[in-house]
Chains A and B, each alone.
Chain A
Amino acid sequence: MMASWLATLRARSDRLRGPGWLLAPAALLYGAMALAPLIIILQMSFSEGFGAYARVLTNPLLRPILANTIVISAETTLIAMLLGYYLAATIWRSGPRVRMILLAMVLLPFWTSGLVKNFAWAALLQDKGLINQALQASGLTQAPLTLLHNRFAVIVGMTHYVLPFAIFPIYSNMLAIDRSLERAALSLGATAASTLWRVTLPLTLPGVYAGGLITFIVSTSFYLTPVILGSQKDMMIANLVDAYTHETVDFAGASALAVMLMIAVSVLFALYQRLPKESQHGPL
């Protein structure tokens, strides 16, 4: 087992024309920074046998907060996919200059700290914020609309955050499409709409599935946005982990909940790995 793994590793490193020990720093980093904390959390979650799991599963807050997490993540995913598909298609079809500008506009926020993005949205959405001032100045509204500290603000902030996760799988899928297929459809008399529906969309479905799943996975573990843009009404699972950690200092409970969240996300991730890879002919 170990030997064959080493052999594979050696074969791979030969292919990269570098000795295997060059992988050691990366292995150390993952071991120390990712695996060790996971093992500690697993240990802490079982510090009372299954007691902490029982406590978390019988917590009356679990069901409404789980429902929040699923509903908010699903709504975010849906909106991000609709916006993302349109944006990916626009980028795909634009000339190189526009394409570069659009990609920069997607990537720049992607590289910006989540904290900054959330506070920026809070500044825009508050009662005396830019959006309400503009609405009132233009006479569209008389009093400020409540845009902040509610579900709407959470969805806006989360959609903004996850949009690149939706765009890139779809976009890279589109890049692999042979454009002559569309021309063929159009020349055979298909309308633009039916070309989109019967040719382009099926060809991009692998990207849509991959983008949708990764967007949903990222959404389920949000912590910051419900805190800054939402109200306590919008608590998600990560916020309950925080309450266990900081309010009741129940480390075992916090760990048990974190482990359960991790298992749920791992199942989704396993599904993600098994998705059909993008191809010219759509999913097989």
Chain B
Amino acid sequence: MLAAPYVITSCAPAASENAIGFASTGGVYNDILRRVWINDFEKQTGVRVNLSSNTSLTQTKLQTKTDRPQWDVVELTGPWYVLAAQQGLLLPLDTDIVNIKATSPQFVRPYGVEYAMFNDCIAWDRRAVPDRLQPAGWADFWDIKARPGKRSLNTVNGGGTLEMALMADGVAPDKLYPLDLDRAFRSLDRLGRDNVVWSQSFQEPIERLMSQEVCLASSWPFRVASANRDGANLGMTFSQCSLAGDWLGVVRTSRNPRAAFKLINALISSPAACAEFSRLTHYGTPNLDSLKLMPKADADLTPTNPALAAKLYAPDDAYWAANLEAVSTRFKQWQLGVAA
């Protein structure tokens, strides 16, 4: 009843010659962006950066429907980036300004650069799941008999539930795509609709674990580590988890694309700044030289670290962009309990 999806909530002033808008995810994260990169960028270029906190593909699309967009640079998830590129919402990456040699080619696409890599994790409540039963992957997560209790799965960013269901059924992480949907839904039937609680935000899985509503949850390492620092007793593993990243692109209707691409360049080109960002967030950056500048303990937790990356799988964003509508319809039919 209270949703107002068409309201543009950012009240940052429209971009002028000397200001650009950068839409990210807000909170502590935006504070870190400002501290690591943006203050220096503003000093060096004289361009003011207005940070917004509510990036989404929906809002990005609305930006392109006006010739005075409030956002110039947008941070997009993988599937969002592919859809934004398909729907013509972004400008082609200006490689005269963005120094892509500072990164590895896997992080560069025609309309953007991947800059913040993070992985999800399997988290559990150590009060409910004893150490001898700690899960080694999704097959254990699916095993209701050995670990009785509800599970939290996510609807955030598509959630990766079907991939999890396939791995729980024995599919190897590198053989997931194209998804075998029949097999995935059979596996979900085995888990049972009523054993799943759907979480819709990044913090909900942690809250559900702590309130003992669920005993296992798909979550994110940064959230689990923060909860444990605050006194929670949660376990986590990265095994069979996904490595995803956020992409930076410039909105097609940007009035100041040169400054926007300069900002993207600033976000990827300094190894020292990237190392500091990884240390503060545990996110990986496309600047692999930054790993060498970090203490080993931090580098070990950074998902672009080759040792950690071997445990993770990369979701196929192109598969998802091409099949999103059909697969998400079928997924909702399963959630509603009606036959496909």
Contacts and interface: CB of A to CB of B under 8 A. Distances in A.
Interface residues of A, number: 36
A249 B61 contact: yes
A233 interface: yes
Contacts of B305: none
Given A238-B1, A247-B328, A233 B335 contact: yes
Contacts, number: 79
Q: Of residues B1, B6, B338, which shows the largest number of chain A Cβ atoms within 10 Å of its Cβ?
A: B1
Nearest to A222: B1
A59 B338 CA distance: 13
B203 interface: no
Contacts of A254: 5
A181 to B, nearest CB: 39
Contacts of A238: 1, 3
Interface in B159-216: 193, 197-198, 200, 211-213
A245 B58 contact: yes
Contacts of A128: 211-213
Contacts of A250: 325
A223 B336 contact: no
B33 interface: no
B56 interface: yes
A246 interface: yes
B1 A231 contact: no
Nearest to B62: A251
B3 A243 contact: no
Nearest to B196: A231
B83 A243 contact: no
Given A61-B332, A233-B193, A233-B336, A37 B3 contact: no
A246 B5 contact: yes
Contacts of B5: 242, 245-246, 254
A254 B5 CA distance: 10
B324 interface: yes
A242 B336 contact: no
Interface string B27-65: 000000000000000000000000000001110010000
A123 to B, nearest CB: 9
A246 B198 CA distance: 17
Interface of A: 37, 40, 59-61, 64-65, 68, 114-115, 126-128, 148-149, 221-225, 227, 231-233, 235, 238, 242-243, 245-251, 254
Interface of B: 1-3, 5-6, 56-58, 61, 83, 87, 155, 193, 197-198, 200, 211-213, 324-325, 328-329, 332-333, 335-338, 340
